Structure 1
Amino acid sequence: MLKKQLIMQKAVELFAEQGFEATSVQQITDRCGISKGAFYLSFKSKDELILALIDQFMTEIITDIDSIVKSNKSKDELLFDFFYINLSLFEKYSDYAKTFMQEQLHLIKEEFIEKMHYYNLLNEKTILELVERVYGDHVQDIKYDLVYCIKGFIRIYTELFFVSHTPPDFEKLSHSLVEKTNLLAKHTKLPFITAEYAPLLQSPKNNEISKEKIVEVINQNLEEVEQGIERESLILLRDQLNMPTLPRAIIKGLIRNIRQHPITKWTSYLLENYYD
């Protein structure tokens, strides 16, 4: 395991045990068995580490959900799988999510706010794509309301897990949320959020993904992926960004090659959106 990944893994354990504020850099390095100097080679501060953990947490959620929405599943399967993967990812990161929600006031800084706004917009864009795929023109006038209702369902029910001592039945809940969403899509007649009002798809300018930024991300990936088809595909995709020569079908195949690797799946998401 790379040192940076080790630090992040052990930090999550400590944050879940005792919170952000109570955890020192010294405790993190002791848990990792490394020196403070080694920590500061990877992260400039504990706040930078926390922001990196947010990136890790949010990029996995967004890429996994986006993969579901872009899959060839039937419309009936699509909505269920969307809710199920959201709930499952929350359970996977539940300890960290609880700690973060309890102590997020510590992180109310401009960089943090911009970062969360960016991920929120990406999430809304994916949910909008889901709504359009599942319901089509039938919900044209209410689709933005549906996006916010779906977001609300997920937030409210995951908050319920905080006070529940019984393991949730994600399958039953997902079916229930599908039923509720279908009822809203079928019977809602009075839209509130219009295209002009909704901030959907309006990414902050400083977070727009440029070719140069994707190349930078690929170079970071290449430092961590030492061999295999993922590394070869990354090199070809970087070359393609710098000097386009490949047909679209080959590009899509190369992106598929990196989609499942934990280090490169965020890169695949960026590339898919860039080429779309």
Structure 2
Amino acid sequence: MSKKLMIMEKAIELFSKNGVESTSIQDITNACGISKGAFYLSFKSKDDLLVEITDYFIKKFIAVQNEILDDSIPVNEKLPKFFYYNFRLLEEHYSFISMCMRENFQPMNNEVIQKIKEFNTVHNEALLTIIHQTYGEKVEHFKYDLLLVVRGLLISYTEFITTHPRKYNFEQLANSLAEKVNIIAEHSTLHFVTEKLWNTKSASSFSEMVSKEHILYLLRQLEGQYKKTPLIDESIHLLMEELMKEKPRLAILSGLASNLQKNEDFSMVVFLVRQYVSDLQSVS
């Protein structure tokens, strides 16, 4: 385990137990058995640490979404799987997530806030894809209402679980929630959120994320970190070279994204590359 990851895991443990505001850098270094100087070699500040922890969790959630989107399982199993894996992640990081919900923790760091906004945007787009894969054109006119239903169920049941800690059967819960969404999808006749209303806020930011410039920006941040893993290192460079071409080859982009998929550090890049490819295919 790298020193940076060790510091992050100890910090998560302390934040879960004592809260973010009540945990100092000194508390973290004491728990790690390192000096403050060693801490500052990995993180510029406590705020910088919070940014990295936020990124750590976001990558895990997006990696799960990527797996579900690419899975060849029957379409009627995708939504239950989405619920199931999200609750499994909650179980794995229960103490930290429950602390955030219990204390209504509101990050003041602008970079953390921006990362959360970007995650919510990607999370919504992934859910819209799962909804389309599951129900097809018949829910096209109320897909945004359905998206909010899925998100609402996920958030409210997460809150319930964090305030009623015990061992849960997440497979049963996932099937139960998917059944509720199915009933709405099959029998709903009215809708509220139109595409125009939805896009007044969210579309522009997502289109900016699904751009060559933004994907290249994310790749440059990871460049040089995987010299000991030749497949990943070469895939990064080839992906950057392909994206810088006037007309990137879509099959090459998809193949290189597949090389990076199993590494959670690239979960956001993989999602955006595949969305970029999908967008170009839809207009060609």
TM-score by length of 1: 0.89
Name the CA shift for 1:232/1:111 in 2 (closer, same or farther; >3 Å).
Answer: closer
What displacement does 1:88 show?
1.1
Greater Cα shift, 138-147 or 108-117 = 108-117
Alignment of 1:160-199 (within 5 A): 160-199=160-199
Unaligned runs of at least 5 residues, structure 2: 279-284
Equivalent-residue separation in structure 2 for 1:110 and 1:164 (angstroms): 32
Quick one: structure 1 residues 114 and 92, their matched pair in 2 at CA, closer, same or farther if it must change by over 3 Å?
same
- Name 2:243's counterpart in structure 1: 241
Which residue of the partner structure matches residue 224 of structure 1?
225
Paired position in structure 1 for 2:254 = 252
Distance 1:116-1:181 versus aligned 2 partners, 3 A rule: same
Confirm or deny: 8 A CA contact 2:235 2:256 kept in the other structure: yes
Q: Distance in 1 between matches of 2:25 and 2:275?
A: 37
Q: CA, structure 1 residues 35+104, in 2 after alignment: closer, same or farther (shift >3 Å)?
A: farther
- Contact 2:54–2:112 (CA<8 Å) still a contact in 1? no
**Cα 1:37/1:274, change in 2 over 3 Å:** farther
Contact 1:79 / 1:134 at 8 angstroms: preserved in 2? yes
Deviation at 1:109, TM superposition (A): 5.0
1:224 deviates by 3.2
1:211–1:241 CA contact under 8 A, matched in 2: yes
Q: How does 1:121-160 map to 2 (within 5 A)?
A: 121-160=121-160
Instruction: Give secondary structure in 2 for the equivalent of 1:272.
Output: helix
Q: 1:11 to 1:204 in 2, by over 3 A?
A: same
The percent identity for this pair of structures is 34
Q: Which amino acid aligns with 1:204?
A: S
Amino acid at match of 1:208: M
CA contact (8 A) 2:260 2:270 kept: yes
Partner Cα separation in structure 1 for residue 18 and residue 121 of structure 2: 31
Separation in 2 of the partners of 1:128 and 1:21? 36
85-94 or 175-184: which moved more?
85-94
CA deviation profile, 1:139-183 (whole Å, cap 9, x unmatched): 122211100000011111111112223211101011111111110
**TM-score scaled by structure 2?**
0.87
Is this contact kept in 2: 1:124–1:201, CA < 8 A?
Answer: no
Give matches, 1:74-113, under 5 Å.
74-108=74-108, 110-113=110-113
Q: Which amino acid in 2 is paired with 1:230?
A: I
More displaced, 159-168 or 101-110? 101-110
Aligned to 2:274: 272
Q: Which runs of 4+ in 1 moved over 6 A?
A: none
Cα distance in structure 2, aligned partners of 1:253 and 1:65: 18
**Contact preservation (8 Å) 2:128, 2:143:** yes
Q: 1:170 to 1:236 in 2, by over 3 A?
A: same
Deviation string 1:11-66 (CA, Å, 9 cap, x unpaired) is: 11111121111211112122223221222232222122112211211232123113
| SS of residue in 2 equivalent to 1:263 | helix
Q: How far has the Cα of 1:205 moved from its partner?
A: 7.9
- Corresponding residue number in structure 2 for 1:71: 71
Segments of structure 1 that go 5 or more residues without pairing to the other structure are none
Q: How many residues align?
A: 276
